[in-house]
Chains A and B, each alone.
Chain A
Amino acid sequence: MSDTQTAVEPEHKIRTDSMFVNLGPQHPSTHGVLRVGLTIEGELITKAVPDVGYLHRGTEKLAEARGYHHCVVLTDRWDYVSAMPNNLVFCLAAEKIMGVKVPPRANALRVIMCELNRIASHLLFFGTYGIDTGAFTPFLYAFREREMILDLFEMVCGARLTYNYIRLGGVMLDVNDAWLAKAKEFIEYFKPRLDEYDTLLSFNPIFMARTENVGLISKETAINWGLSGPNLRGSGVDYDARKADPYCGYEEYDFTVPLGKKGSCWDRYYCRVQEMRQSVKIVEQALAKLPAGETMATGVAKVPKPAPGEAYAHVEGARGDLGIYLVSDGQGSPYRMHVRAPSFINLAILQEMLVGNKVADVIAILGSIDIVLGEVDR
């Protein structure tokens, strides 16, 4: 408790009525349908109660009545901002249970798509975080670039948000030369934009004042609360599923894991900006050495019925360590599917982190956690 900021007790405390302010679900800047009940004294928060579940669709129950191919469609709807890692993690878990080996070209395509999607997701974070702190222009710049990534996805799989692109045993469709050229064009275009983002927002003195030394999370607290992704790495914990538990051949790519120093909002923010740089690097490498060959493994049945067993797969999604715990009883649909939703687990720390901060910091802290309510509520 002492790690995050505690309430400042003024010495000559005047007895005042505390005020209950409802942040959301219709507040203009709650991310999705999150409601936070804030008890404030003046501008100081004394209690915060996040209330989730407005978007609960029971994906885990739905999966128990659907085939494995159908479940991939369901996964698109969790973290709709970065749906490719969702597809991927389910496919990895199902492939583990079925013992399917994915061809190298499909693996490389999965890596490219996931990293592009990570960039798209972090761009959305960048833009909305700008809005949270009052700057509107970075939002539209970020969306301008994100639009290009979504165009790339639309070119390859026909959808802009719910891709259903990564399938059991490979990917839906191969990419063509026109797509590769477009992707390279985007990468070349995007690299200088990242420096511009730094100029516009990251090193803007007002923005830095808003976010530095706000919402501090120490290493121990971050681990204890089970944070993952940039929230964990912003606190300086070097843990990335791409390095710790490599999948899809991530060990072949040369990239570093950016780490924060103090665990402040700015550290978490800048971790994401740096991750975009690393993702660009990975996509460049993957595009350069894209192996030829098939994009779909042979031997994936139309209605797969894997042998009874259990598998756990986790990937480094845009929001953190996204995991799937899959249990099969030998039928055509998963007996049990559990999603380790990073947004859900990251959000839990909010109730402790907000206490003792100003109302103006609530949005900065909430934005820096970067949640997607589709994934929180599933």
Chain B
Amino acid sequence: MAEEKSTGNGSSPEIPKSQPAPVPAGVSAGAAPAPAAAKPAAAAAPKPAAPPKKSWPEPKFNEKDGRLLKTTRYWPTELWPHPWQSASYRNGAMMLFGIIAGLLASGAAIGELSTWGDKLYALIAGFVASHGQPAVVTDVIWVAIKVLIVLHVVLINGLWAIWWERKISAHIQSRVGPTYAGGFHGWAQTIMDGIKLLLKEDITPAAADKWVHALAPAIVVAPVVVAFAPVTFGKDLAAANLDIGVLYIFAMAGISVIGVVMAGWASGNKYSLLGGLRASAQLVSYELPRGFSIVPVLMFAGSLDLSVIANAQAGYKWGFLPKWFIFYPVVGQLAFLIFLIASIAETNRTPFDIPEAESELVSGFHTEYSGMKWSIFFLAEYGYVLLASFLLATFFLGGGASPFVFDHVIPSWLWMLGKAMAMMFVFLWVRWTFPRFRSDQLMDFCWKFLLPWSFANIAFAGLTLFLR
């Protein structure tokens, strides 16, 4: 069991057998009679003793619970110069390559999901008609299926994103992250955590406002699920085709602030209160640059419908460069950066995580939450990260459009997913690189930098449209 785990570990520091194990101070693994590489030379130090007459007991290795590495230490200087000599590093890279290739192949085999959706709809309609029910029943079933799918996108995203964040942060920090739960790279870690959180005691502090305290997580998480309705996951693949999709999403996402403030207020804790107040100020402020930064996108696309925005970016300029909005000179990049920064701030992640600021406010507004209520806050946070990733992919990266002219095989939903995951990686990457803003600097940054530039960007967009 233990042996399996350690070999299945993609990036455990393992020096290949060919390379001599570093034994600096003369520690040899076995019962070597007298290595004596180190000479204790001080006056008070023991001299290597003459071999005693009686037979020595065999050295004991405590290998009961683990594999004894027959070396003293791994130093980065021994591991880093030749990473490809390490079998585990090679295996890890090959596995990653295999997973990506497998995903692409299966995506190509499945094809566009919207066609399968049409088939499924026809099947349900036939089933309903054969049972003599009215046609509205078909729509009801269809909507229920769509709602369930979107709900599970949010829930499964929580499991995936937390695991991924742990892995990414660990590798950024020269660690490996979870490795035990589930066997393969700790894939089941979040599931196990979820089970643990479900089984944990749900504590409501005595000073808390009980109803508000209980309601706050729900108010935080419900808008996320609802906001996913118009998000396009690929070509013609959205739960609802809303003409005002963008506006709807922003409106829904704005509701979460209330939940955060409620959580901060109702906990009856000073840290929570400070965190809640900071959160409300921050979230309300960053709504503005976030909204204004996509105005150029809306101007270029001429619609608030997400699928229209995505379709407006189809095609290639000069035969190779995709007509994505991020490639529009100055305007696109500026809008992208402002939207990205504001999205990070909206999700309370690290350069902007002052509501939670664990070094100042313990844990901010969710200090007094435990068990599933606490995890719901995280579900909402990662839901918002996914939402922002999909929005970034839709607004700036061409939605499901392929970046390559020659590509006709990979379906649009896979491209969309890939772009969203790349954006999510940016979120994680930023989080594990930067320190935190101070609350007043955060406000300064929003009102004095992001907002003016988002206004300026609208003007640039107008200029671009005028010149075109």
Binding site for B on A (CB under 8 A): 19, 21, 27-29, 43, 130-137, 140-141, 144, 148, 151, 155, 167, 170-174, 176, 178-179, 181-182, 185-186, 189, 200-201, 204, 206-207, 209-210, 294-296, 298, 358-363
Contact = CB atoms under 8 A, between A and B. Distances in A.
Contacts of B436: 133-135, 206, 210
Contact of A28 (B24, B40, B358, B433): B358
A178 B42 contact: no
B435 A204 contact: yes
B45 A201 contact: no
Could you tell me the dominant secondary structure of chain B's interface residues? loop
B270 A19 contact: yes
B368 to A, nearest CB: 15
B435 A207 contact: yes
Contacts of B435: 130, 133-135, 201, 204, 206-207, 210
Nearest to A193: B76
B42 A295 contact: yes
A295 B40 CA distance: 11
Interface string B65-86: 0000000110111000000000
B333 interface: no
B25 interface: yes
Contacts of B438: 209-210, 358, 360-361
B18 interface: no
Nearest to A152: B24
A8 B43 CA distance: 64
Contacts of A358: 438-440
On chain B, which size bracket covers the interface?
35 or more
Given A134-B435, A296-B42, 10 more contacts: A135-B434, A141-B174, A148-B76, A173-B40, A173-B41, A173-B45, A176-B25, A176-B39, A207-B435, A360-B439
A67 to B, nearest CB: 14
B432 interface: yes
A360 B354 contact: yes
B360 interface: yes
B43 A151 contact: no
Contacts of A204: 434-435
Interface in B1-55: 24-26, 37-45
A27 B75 contact: no
Contact of B437 (A131, A173, A206): A206
A210 B434 contact: no
Contact of A43 (B42, B274, B434): B274
A360 B357 contact: yes
Nearest to B363: A28
B130 interface: no
A28 B359 contact: yes
B24 A131 contact: no
Contacts of A21: 270-271
A265 to B, nearest CB: 12
B351 interface: yes
Contacts of A131: 359
A164 to B, nearest CB: 12
A85 B434 CA distance: 33
A189 B77 contact: yes
B40 A151 contact: no
B274 A359 contact: yes
A182 B22 CA distance: 11
Contacts of B432: 136-137
B441 A210 contact: yes
Nearest to A139: B173
A205 to B, nearest CB: 9
B350 A134 contact: yes
A173 B440 CA distance: 54
B362 interface: yes
A149 B350 CA distance: 30
Q: 6 closest A-B pairs (Cβ-Cβ)?
A: A134-B436, A29-B359, A135-B435, A140-B173, A174-B41, A133-B435
B279 to A, nearest CB: 14
Interface of B: 24-26, 37-45, 72-73, 75-77, 169, 172-175, 270-271, 274, 350-351, 353-354, 357-362, 432-441
Contacts of A134: 350-351, 353, 357, 359, 434-436
Contact of A178 (B24, B40, B354, B437): B24
Contacts of A200: 433
A357 B73 CA distance: 45
Contacts of A27: 362
Contacts of B362: 27-28
B198 to A, nearest CB: 25
Contact of A179 (B24, B44, B77, B434): B24
Given A173-B41, A207-B435, A144 B174 contact: yes
Contacts of A144: 76, 174
B444 to A, nearest CB: 9
A217 to B, nearest CB: 19
Given A151-B73, A206-B435, A137 B173 contact: yes
A191 B116 CA distance: 59
B43 A296 contact: yes
A171 B26 CA distance: 21
A5 to B, nearest CB: 14
A363 B362 CA distance: 12
B78 to A, nearest CB: 9
B134 to A, nearest CB: 58
Contact of A209 (B24, B73, B173, B437): B437
Nearest to A298: B43
B439 A155 contact: no
A27 to B, nearest CB: 7
A204 B37 CA distance: 46
A178 B362 CA distance: 45
B433 A182 contact: no
B439 A43 contact: yes
Contacts of B351: 134, 206
Nearest to B24: A178
A251 B79 CA distance: 38
A43 B438 CA distance: 11
A134 B364 CA distance: 13
Contact of B42 (A132, A171, A176, A201): A171
A95 to B, nearest CB: 16
A140 B45 contact: no
A294 B358 CA distance: 51
B42 A173 contact: yes
Contact of B24 (A155, A167, A206): A155
Contacts of A206: 351, 434-437, 441
B25 A155 contact: yes
Contacts of B173: 136-137, 140-141
Nearest to A360: B438
Given A134-B350, A182-B24, A174 B77 contact: no
A13 B292 CA distance: 35
Nearest to B173: A140
Given A178-B26, A209-B438, A170 B73 contact: no
Contacts of A189: 75-77
Contacts of A135: 350, 433-436
Contacts of A174: 39-42
24 contacts: A28-B359, A43-B439, A134-B353, A135-B350, A135-B434, A136-B432, A137-B173, A140-B173, A144-B174, A170-B42, A173-B42, A174-B39, A176-B38, A179-B25, A186-B75, A186-B77, A189-B77, A209-B437, A210-B436, A295-B41, A295-B42, A298-B43, A359-B361, A362-B360
